């Protein structure tokens, strides 16, 4: 199968997952906000398809979901999320692709750094967007939104994403790779 067709097919699957997963938690918005269901396919896209697909999917997913289902609300939530998820896909994909070893340890390192970067970008986006409407984004709102309410989702991601990647490695669909040893 052509690599481009395979990548586009996987990207479409991740997009569909990102659109569908929030329906499982969306009936109770507090749980949906805590489990962060749209984040999982974006991380997987970045790790499996690379930073370009991860960033594009991350940017488009919240905006598309907002346009199709009015959730998340477009302004400022979906806009800020689009920058956050774009950062997740970009950073996780870039770091993982450039890791000396592509293994579970590297996977955790990439996920944690991407989560940190995405939350910082989300905070900056919230500051800018709320400032444009004459509101203020406080430090307390950042800590609450980026960390306190997100802890269950962070834990879920740190458990589920490596499990999926290991299962894909064991099935032979996506292999962990080690850096090639250069011989003199």
CATH numbers and ranges of domains, the chain: 3-171 (1.10.1760.20)
CA distance 4 to 126: 35
Q: Is pTM beyond 0.85 here?
A: yes
Average pLDDT score, the chain:
89
Angstrom CA distances, 116 to 42, 106, 112, 154, stand at 15, 15, 6, 11
DSSP string computed for 1-25? --HHHHHHHHHHHHHHHHHHHHHHH
pLDDT at 181: 46
Model confidence band, residue 1 (pLDDT cutoffs 50, 70, 90): low
Which tens digits make up the pLDDT trace of 13-42? 999 999 999 988 877 767 767 888 999 999
Model confidence band, residue 136 (pLDDT cutoffs 50, 70, 90): confident
**Is 91 exposed, middle or buried, given 0-12, 13-18 or 19+ CB atoms closer than 10 A?**
buried
Among the residue ranges 49-58, 130-139, 143-152, 173-182, the one predicted with the least confidence is 173-182
Which tens digits make up the pLDDT trace of 61-74? 999 999 999 989 99
């Amino acid at each position: 199968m052509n690599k481009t067709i395979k990548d586009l097919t996987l990207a479409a699957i991740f997009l569909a997952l990102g659109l569908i997963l929030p329906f499982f938690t969306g009936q109770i918005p507090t749980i949906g906000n805590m489990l962060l269901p749209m984040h999982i396919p974006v991380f997987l896209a970045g790790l499996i398809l690379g930073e370009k697909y991860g960033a594009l999917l991350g940017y488009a997913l919240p905006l598309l979901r907002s346009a199709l289902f009015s959730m998340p609300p477009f302004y400022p939530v979906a806009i800020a999320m689009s920058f956050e998820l774009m950062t997740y896909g970009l950073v996780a994909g870039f770091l993982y692709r450039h890791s000396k070893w592509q293994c579970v340890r590297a996977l955790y390192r990439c996920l944690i750094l991407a989560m940190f970067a995405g939350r910082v970008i989300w905070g900056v986006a919230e500051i800018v967007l709320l400032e444009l409407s004459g509101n203020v984004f406080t430090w307390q709102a950042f800590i609450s939104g980026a960390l306190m309410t997100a802890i269950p989702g962070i834990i879920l991601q740190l458990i589920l994403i490596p499990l999926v990647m290991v299962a894909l490695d064991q099935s032979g669909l996506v292999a962990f790779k080690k850096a090639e040893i250069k011989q003199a």
